[in-house]
Structure 1
């Protein structure tokens, strides 16, 4: 689903989006940056997708979060999140 996105220097650690039944799963896609300093996470919650950026595994307080029920919005939102995390990495 996100083949055209360059996640480097992140590592895709989970990808369920190739599964044709992915909307039956909550956990869909995850990218780890700097050994989980940042985790980009995509999940499906019954009626909407949630895309979150987590810092230092603090799942209760995402530093970036967007939600949508529109499948066509996912790629632009994913690109936006990747740009954001790359800027954070340059500051560290």
Structure 2
């Protein structure tokens, strides 16, 4: 589903998005950046997809979150999230 997105320097650690039978599972897709400093997580939660950006494995407080019930929006939202991670990793306000 996200084969046209450059996740570098992140590493895809979980991917069930290539099989449409799994698109309504809680765990769908995950990318780790900088040894889990940042993690992008995509899952299905009942009636919507949740795309979360987690910092330092603090799952209680995502630093970025988008939700949609529209499967066709996921690629746009994933690109937005990846850009946000890269700004955090390489931007002037790097933390």
Name the CA distance, whole Å, in 2 between partners of 1:46 and 1:23.
11
Residue 36 (structure 2) pairs with residue 74 (structure 1): no
Q: Distance in 1 between matches of 2:40 and 2:75?
A: 13
> Scaled by the length of structure 1, what TM-score is found?
0.96
2:69 and 2:56 map into 1 onto residues whose CA distance is: 27
Structure 2: tracts of 5 or more residues without a match: none
Shift of 1:23: 2.8
Q: How does 1:1-92 map to 2 (within 5 A)?
A: 1-90=1-90, 91-92=94-95
Give how far 1:24 is off: 3.8
Conserved 8 A contact 2:16-2:23:
no
Structure 1's consecutive aligned runs of 4 or more residues displaced over 6 angstroms after TM superposition are: none
In structure 1, runs of 5+ residues without a counterpart are none
